[in-house]
């Protein structure tokens, strides 16, 4: 007997066997159990997520000899014939190769005849978006009011190309790309059933490479089994896929954290010599950086990750904003590889770009005289009663003496570039409520301003200005911040500029003689 590929051998035959599409299975199961059957269904989704599988399972549920049920028996003549593709009342039409009006009319001519063996006729049109406009128009009337024994099942990977007149006549279900964890679990089940030796690293690589498609995952598994002579090992799967070993990715990230250009270039050359894909290398780096960002905010999330210890190490080497910056470089850098002289030249420039723009300043060493932010409570600071909820950036500016001091100090630090990124935004958007010799109280409206190391960087900048103080931050309505003062000054300049233009004698003459108008928004202060 000839070998049957895994994608066909393990195609689900019932709704219960399907994985990763619980939202579709639940809706169809409830509809079948309650006998609320629509005459037309549209299944959308990327390749290999189960559109044809759902269609066949639905056809069996409608025509099972045991009755209409979400759990067909699978052993009666109707169920077996549908699985074998020889059921006379189930017709599959590939619209990619039969897209004309003649093919659709031939199909619709069969609609006038009642089912021969089954309870319903089921017309399944795959890749329905490939039909011509004339073909769509030919089936509209039948699709809207078909005979009671006729059911339409449409499937497409591109629902945007399906006319709205067709969409409005169907129940639409979107089959989502499957999560790598879902694919990994199913692959492990299939490999155990096939008695194929495998390790978790190999299965994880295939699950990520499938990009949400279970069929692609099973096809890659077949290829990997052949490549590994009946076994699935992480090393052989990496060689087959051209992916980079995680150890190389961690080494690249350590070199970037240390700003070690020679080591970085040496690692890139080694990867190029080994024939690894530069695009996959950047993809793996982005995946590690994403996990490192998670580590900063939810360390327990890495407990089940086999590389959790190394990811935690990477998270400790970078600051939160640096991880975000490097992640963005890796994501966007992949799109630039096709424009580069070669893949590795493009990858090298992406990584050197980080070294070119990354902050080169030494890490901040805490001053012995500066107390810990958490250790020392704020001293008896006056409390100002304000609403707890922010009112937005357009709130009326209410200047305070502390605001005068804070505004001048922040602008001085901004002009000297002593604060940047999130620390700069924290200073600009905050209000200095009260202060004494040792402790200052700031008020902000958005919790996100405290993200990362923004508070620590602001403390360091204040220390450089001679203010060895502790900062406490509260949430509330901000009425006097450097940003609000700058916005107010900008509005005043704008009003003054408009008044100058509107009262200019020459402009008045133009308006009077030629019915001219001042274009709104065209006046800009200098």
Q: What is the pLDDT of residue 125?
A: 93
Q: What is the pLDDT of residue 391?
A: 41
Check pLDDT > 80 for residue 461: yes
CATH architecture group of domain 401-484: 2-Layer Sandwich (3.30)
Is there a contact between 80 and 56 (Cβ–Cβ < 8 Å)? no
Burial of 492 (0-12, 13-18, 19+ CB in 10 A): exposed
Check pLDDT > 70 for residue 456: yes
Q: Terminal CA-to-CA distance of the chain, rounded, Å?
A: 84
CATH class of 180-241: mainly alpha
| 471-509 pLDDT, tens digit each | 888 888 888 899 888 888 888 888 888 888 888 888 888
Q: What is the pLDDT of residue 190?
A: 92
CA 73 to chain centre: 40
Averaged pLDDT, 397-401 = 83
Query: What are all long-range contacts of 133-137, with beta carbons under 8 Å and residues at least 24 apart?
Result: 133/163, 134/100, 134/101, 135/99, 135/100, 135/101, 135/103, 135/104, 136/163, 136/165, 136/166
Check pLDDT > 70 for residue 251: yes
The segment(s) of the chain belonging to CATH 3.40.50.300 are 6-174
Q: What is the pLDDT of residue 360?
A: 44
**What is the β-pairing status of strands 439-444 and 431-435?**
antiparallel
CATH number belonging to the domain at 246-357, selected among 1.20.272.10, 3.10.180.10, 1.10.3720.10, 3.30.360.10: 1.20.272.10
Q: Which residues lie closer than 8 Å to 362 by C-beta, 6 or more apart?
A: none
Q: What is the pLDDT of residue 362?
A: 37
The segment(s) of the chain belonging to CATH 1.10.8.60 are 180-241
The segment(s) of the chain belonging to CATH 3.30.300 are 401-484
Averaged pLDDT, 464-476 = 88
The segment(s) of the chain belonging to CATH 1.20.272.10 are 246-357
76 vs 517: which has the higher pLDDT:
76
Averaged pLDDT, 241-250 = 78
Range with the poorest average pLDDT among 95-99, 441-445, 450-454: 450-454
Averaged pLDDT, 251-269 = 88
Is there a contact between 116 and 146 (Cβ–Cβ < 8 Å)? no
Averaged pLDDT, 185-213 = 89
- Residue from 170, 214, 172 nearest 27 by CA: 172
The residue assigned the tokens 């604060």 is 419
Q: What is the pLDDT of residue 301?
A: 57
Check pLDDT > 50 for residue 457: yes
pTM of the model: 0.57
Query: What's the mean per-residue pLDDT of the chain?
Result: 84
CA–CA gap between residue 296 and residue 289 (Å, rounded): 11
Beta-sheet strand order (sheet of 121-126): 90-94, 121-126, 150-156, 40-44, 171-174
Averaged pLDDT, 2-20 = 87
Q: What is the pLDDT of residue 518?
A: 79
Instruction: Supply the DSSP symbol for 34.
Output: T
CATH class of 6-174: alpha beta
Check pLDDT > 70 for residue 303: no
Burial of 369 (0-12, 13-18, 19+ CB in 10 A): exposed
Q: What is the pLDDT of residue 378?
A: 41
């Amino acid at each position: 007997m000839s070998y049957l590929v895994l994608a066909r051998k393990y195609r689900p035959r019932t709704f219960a066997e399907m994985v990763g599409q619980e939202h579709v299975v639940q809706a169809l199961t409830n509809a079948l159990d309650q006998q609320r059957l629509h005459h037309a269904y549209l299944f959308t989704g990327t390749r290999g997520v189960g559109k044809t599988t759902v269609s066949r399972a639905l056809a069996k549920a409608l025509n099972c000899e045991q009755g209409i049920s979400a759990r067909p028996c699978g052993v009666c003549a109707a169920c077996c014939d549908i699985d074998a593709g020889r059921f006379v009342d189930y017709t599959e039409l590939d619209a990619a190769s039969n897209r004309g009006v003649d093919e659709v009319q031939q199909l619709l001519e069969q609609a006038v005849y009642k089912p021969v063996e089954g309870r319903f006729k089921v017309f399944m049109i795959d890749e329905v978006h490939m039909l011509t406009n004339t073909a769509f128009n030919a089936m509209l009337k039948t699709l809207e009011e078909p005979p009671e024994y006729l059911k339409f099942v449409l499937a497409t990977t591109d629902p945007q190309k399906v006319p709205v007149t067709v969409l409005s006549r169907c129940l639409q279900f979107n089959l989502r790309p499957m999560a790598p964890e879902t694919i990994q679990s199913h692959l492990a089940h299939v490999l155990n059933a096939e008695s194929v030796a495998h390790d978790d690293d190999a299965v994880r690589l295939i699950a990520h490479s499938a990009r949400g498609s279970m069929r692609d995952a099973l096809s890659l598994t077949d290829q990997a089994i052949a490549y590994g002579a009946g076994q699935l090992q992480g090393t052989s799967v990496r060689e087959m896929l051209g992916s980079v070993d995680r150890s190389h990715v961690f080494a690249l990230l350590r070199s970037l954290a240390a700003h070690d250009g020679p080591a970085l270039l040496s690692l890139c050359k080694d990867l190029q010599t080994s024939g690894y894909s530069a695009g996959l290398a950047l993809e793996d780096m982005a995946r590690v950086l994403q996990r490192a960002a998670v580590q900063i905010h939810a360390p327990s999330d890495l407990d089940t990750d086999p590389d959790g210890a190394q990811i935690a190490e990477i998270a400790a080497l970078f600051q939160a904003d640096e991880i975000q910056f490097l992640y963005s470089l890796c994501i966007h850098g992949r799109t630039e590889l096709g424009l580069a002289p070669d893949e590795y030249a493009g990858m090298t420039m992406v990584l050197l770009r980080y070294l070119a723009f990354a902050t080169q300043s030494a890490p901040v060493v805490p001053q012995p005289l500066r107390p810990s932010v958490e250790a020392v409570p704020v001293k008896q600071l006056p409390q100002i009663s304000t609403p707890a909820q922010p009112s937005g950036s357009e709130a009326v500016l209410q200047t305070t003496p502390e605001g005068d001091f804070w505004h001048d100090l922040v602008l001085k630090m901004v002009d000297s570039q002593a604060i940047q990124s999130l620390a700069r935004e924290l200073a600009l958007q905050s209000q200095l409520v009260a202060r004494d010799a040792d402790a200052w109280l700031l008020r902000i409206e958005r919790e996100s301003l405290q993200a990362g190391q923004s508070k620590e960087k602001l403390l360091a900048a204040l220390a450089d200005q001679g203010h060895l103080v502790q900062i406490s931050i509260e949430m509330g309505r901000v009425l006097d911040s450097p940003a609000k003062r700058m916005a107010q000054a900008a509005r005043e300049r704008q009003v003054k500029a408009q008044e100058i233009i509107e009262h200019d004698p020459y402009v008045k003459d133009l308006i009077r003689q030629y019915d001219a108008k001042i274009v709104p928004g065209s006046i800009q202060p200098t």
